[in-house]
Amino acid sequence: MTRFPKSPAMSCAPPAQYHALDSSSTGELAAQARAGLLSQPAAVSPKFFYDALGSRLFEAITELDEYGLTRAEAAIFDAHGAVITEAARARIGRPFDLVDLGAGDCAKAARLIPLLQPSRYLALDIATEHLRPALQRLQAAHPQLPMLAIGTDFSERLALPRTLCPGPALVFYPGSSIGNFDPEAALRLLAQARELAGSGALLIGVDLVKGQAELEAAYDDALGVTAAFNLNLLRHLNRLIGSDFDPRQWRHLARFDAARSRIEMHLLAREDLTVRWPGGQRHFAAGESIHTENSYKWTLPDFAALLRDAGWREPRHWCDPAEGFAVVLAS
């Protein structure tokens, strides 16, 4: 990582600032979780994966042999990072904010900051307890760069006050998190990103369609890390809504739905059971599931069409050698 040297002639930026954007309370999140458990069929948002342990488990997933997505994206930036960032800067053409969606440990943005040289870095994440120490480390490495951590659930709506992001912005959404949104929701998020960017651009990672066996292995690894990640959601719900889930009564399932071009993750009840929480309960028959995540896989033509429908133009992409993952730039 490039470090900017301190000198008497250069003043440091103020320490990283933290801003809670959403008014959503713990009670409102708990209400969303309870409603999901009572729906038919039961389903809860993947945002409930990311408590402190869930965030660490996801980092471990990215190191697995079966989960090549993170390495594929890193290989693209290693091979084409200078070209990608030069193209992004050329499209924006003036000082801009780097807006990092789902920033997590900020590691992906950290690799690009020396190349992009943004005027500010805005890190958005729902799991702010994981984001704070990461941003502190990044601020120490780049003391001249103003940084702001924003706690927000952008899966509900992506919007920032102009006082926080006057624009233009490069909206950065790495990994394959756009795959967690069904096509209608993905269109809505990308349109909101178009508005947020102003005269800026979008830099986004997209996992591409591949063979069923390869996809299912990536979400059901031999070590069981993804299973632990999925089951940890139950522990998070216990703390959030006061439920009495016993993870030992559930098992992880990942399957590819070819018709919808998506991986689905579920938690299946191993036996007939009833889960209780203050003011409510839900009976699950053996084999009944809680749907916890979708991960849609795209072809490049279909994703380019989605971008155009959301108001983005001139998409340009770079792929890994296996052509299983793409980084896409649009303005």
Contacts (Cβ under 8 Å, ≥6 apart) of 275: 37, 243, 244, 245, 281, 282, 284
> What's the confidence (pLDDT) of residue 12?
62
77 and 187 assigned to the same domain? yes
* Dihedral angle sign, alpha carbons of residues 57, 63, 65, 69: positive
Does residue 184 sit within a domain? yes
CB atoms within 10 A of CB 155: 17
218 and 305 assigned to the same domain? no
- Concatenating the DSSP letter of every residue in 187-210 gives HHHHHHHHHHHTT-EEEEEEEBP-
78 and 119 assigned to the same domain? yes
215 and 305 assigned to the same domain? no
89 and 199 assigned to the same domain? yes
Does residue 28 sit within a domain? no
202 and 325 assigned to the same domain? yes
> What's the confidence (pLDDT) of residue 68?
94
Let me know how long the chain is. Answer: 331
126 and 191 assigned to the same domain? yes
> What's the confidence (pLDDT) of residue 167?
81
> What's the confidence (pLDDT) of residue 101?
97
Does residue 325 sit within a domain? yes
Residue 328 and residue 326: Cα distance in Å, rounded? Answer: 6
Domain assignment of residue 277, given as a range: 40-61+211-296
Does residue 11 sit within a domain? no
For residue 292, give the nearest of 215, 236, 208, 210 by alpha carbon.
236
> What's the confidence (pLDDT) of residue 111?
92
Three-state DSSP at 213 gives: helix
Does residue 1 sit within a domain? no
Does residue 7 sit within a domain? no
Count the domains in the chain. 2
- The CB-side HSE value for 79 (13 A sphere, CA atoms) comes to 13
164 and 233 assigned to the same domain? no
> What's the confidence (pLDDT) of residue 13?
63
165 and 280 assigned to the same domain? no
- Concatenating the DSSP letter of every residue in 39-55 gives SSS-B--GGGG-SHHHH
The predicted-structure confidence for 204-222, as pLDDT tens digits, reads as follows: 999 999 999 999 999 999 9
Q: What is the dihedral of CA 10, 13, 14, 18, to 10 degrees?
A: -170
102 and 164 assigned to the same domain? yes
Does residue 20 sit within a domain? no
> What's the confidence (pLDDT) of residue 21?
73
> What's the confidence (pLDDT) of residue 24?
55
Q: In this structure, what CATH number is given to the domain that contains residue 93?
A: 3.40.50.150
Does residue 109 sit within a domain? yes
> What's the confidence (pLDDT) of residue 25?
65
> What's the confidence (pLDDT) of residue 289?
98
141 and 85 assigned to the same domain? yes
Residues in the chain with pLDDT values less than 70: 1-14, 22-25
Burial of 111 (0-12, 13-18, 19+ CB in 10 A): middle
The pTM for the full model equals: 0.90
Burial of 261 (0-12, 13-18, 19+ CB in 10 A): middle
**Tokens of residue 141, six digits:** 């490495």
232 and 134 assigned to the same domain? no
